[in-house]
Chains A and B, each alone.
Chain A
Amino acid sequence: MSALKINKNNFDLVINSDKPVLLDFYAEWCGPCRMVSPLIEQIADENPQYLVGKINVDEEPELAAQFGVSSIPLLAVVKNGKIVNKSAGAKPKHQILALLEG
Chain B
Amino acid sequence: MEHIYDVIIIGGGPAGYTAALYAARAGLDTLIIEKMAPGGQMTLTGDIDNYPGFDEGIDGFTLGMKMQQGAEKFGAKTEYTEIISVDFSEKIKHVTTYDGTRHAKAIIIAAGAHPKKLGIPDEEELTGMGVHYCAHCDGRFYKGKTVAVIGGGNSAVADALYLARLAKKVYLVHRRDTLRAEKIYQKPLSEAENVEFVFNSTVNSIINDNGIKGIVVSSNDGKVKEIECDGIFVSIGRQPSTGFLGNEIELDSNGYIIADETTKTNIDGVFAAGDIRTKALRQVITAAADGAVAAHYAEKYNSQN
Contact = CB atoms under 8 A, between A and B. Distances in A.
Interface of A: 27, 30-36, 38-39, 68-72, 74, 87-94
A68 B129 contact: yes
B36 A92 contact: yes
B219 to A, nearest CB: 28
B42 to A, nearest CB: 8
Contact of A31 (B39, B98, B128): B39
Given A32-B43, A34-B37, A70-B138, A88 B127 contact: yes
A93 B80 contact: yes
B137 interface: yes
Contacts of A39: 36-37, 80
Contact of B137 (A31, A38, A68, A92): A31
Interface residues of B, number: 28
B99 to A, nearest CB: 9
Main secondary structure of the interface of B (DSSP, over half): mixed
Given A70-B138, A89-B127, A34 B80 contact: no
Interface of B: 35-37, 39, 42-45, 59-61, 80-82, 98, 127-130, 132, 134, 136-138, 140-142, 231
A92 B44 contact: no
A91 B130 CA distance: 19
A36 B128 contact: no
A33 B37 CA distance: 10
A90 B127 CA distance: 12
A80 B230 CA distance: 32
B45 to A, nearest CB: 8
A87 B45 CA distance: 21
B129 A70 contact: yes
A27 B136 CA distance: 12
B141 A31 contact: no
A55 B129 CA distance: 18
B134 to A, nearest CB: 7
A92 B43 contact: no
Given A35-B36, A35-B37, A71-B137, A88 B128 contact: yes
A71 B44 CA distance: 13
Given A39-B36, A92-B36, A94-B82, A34 B137 contact: no
A32 B35 contact: no
Given A39-B36, A70-B129, A70-B142, 8 more contacts: A31-B44, A32-B44, A32-B137, A35-B37, A71-B127, A71-B128, A71-B138, A93-B81
Contacts of B138: 70-72
A34 B43 contact: yes
Contacts of B127: 71, 88-89
A71 B98 contact: no
